[in-house]
Amino acid sequence: MGDHIRLIDQRRLPEELVLVEVHSIEKLCELISELAIRGAPALGAAGAMGVALAWVQGRGMVETASLLKATRPTAVNLAWGVDRALAAGDPVAEAVQIAVDDVALNQAIGAHGTAVVPDGARVLTHCNSGSLACVGWGTALGVIRSAHVAGRQPSVWVDETRPVLQGARLTAWELQQLGIPATLVVDSMAGSLMAAGKVDLALVGADRIAANGDVANKIGTYSLAVLARHHHIPFYVAAPTSTIDPATPAGSHIVVEQRSDSEVVEVGGVRLAPEGMIAQNWAFDITPAELVTGYITEEGISGRIH
């Protein structure tokens, strides 16, 4: 890491793969807020790296931790990574260890999760939960990746994931790089695909899992869980145990990030809605635990959170 942090600017994908160097906490906070870096595990590593950068620069650690945590309130991994680095004697070594561990944890999630992916499975996923959302390998997309490596020959229905299109821009790009067959669909097509018998399981990541198993994930996840239950399709959540927040008793206690309405009324800087039209932009929704078939973590697969 040295005196700066290097990361992929996810805003530039899929057009170009660009690495940016971050030399200040303010710039890191800006990049997190603007989704240049996103995904719960990736935010955990970025938060730890931010604390490490502050330590190297001789900057106030507690102030830095507060600034970083305030950027994205829903994803628990951000605060988790910040707190781990803050408590370490050597924040740089701790941040690097978090990054190294993330890849191993995700590969373990993938190895366990392969068991729920039948041969030739048609998997529906939402948002982005691959390498871009982590330090490496991925969580929900990592399960698909592991199943692909194991010869299960999965194919993927990729929800575009409005309004910021993480599915269309990021997940579709990752699957192309991996050589995994994928088809992009609008979010509202998911129910029709299920009704037509074209989905074998739904697989998503998580930004926070409450103590009772309620799941905060990208807006639209709750709708998919309801549709999956109606059509008797398994609905799995893949995430590291660091995403489980025992201090949050239930989903109703999770703060849901409110983002700018410009993300809804515009796409790529082009306005879609009439001038003066306001919009609601909840970045996440809460899926009740009773709609989750199972949780896939680095420890295995469980039908409930303990």
Catalytic residue set: 207
Bridging pattern class, strands 294-297 and 235-238: parallel
54-59: long-range contacts at Cβ-Cβ below 8 A with a sequence spacing of 24 or more? 54/25, 54/91, 55/85, 55/91, 55/92, 56/1, 56/2, 56/3, 56/92, 57/3, 59/25
Q: Output the CA torsion 195→201→202→204 (10° steps).
A: 180
Residues 6+ apart with CB under 8 A from 192: none
Considering only CA atoms, give the Rg of the chain.
19
Q: Nearest to residue 15, comparing CAs of 172, 207, 196?
A: 172
Tell me if the bond preceding 14 is cis, omega within 30° of 0.
yes
Residues 6+ apart with CB under 8 A from 11: 34, 35, 36
Give the three-class secondary structure for 242: helix
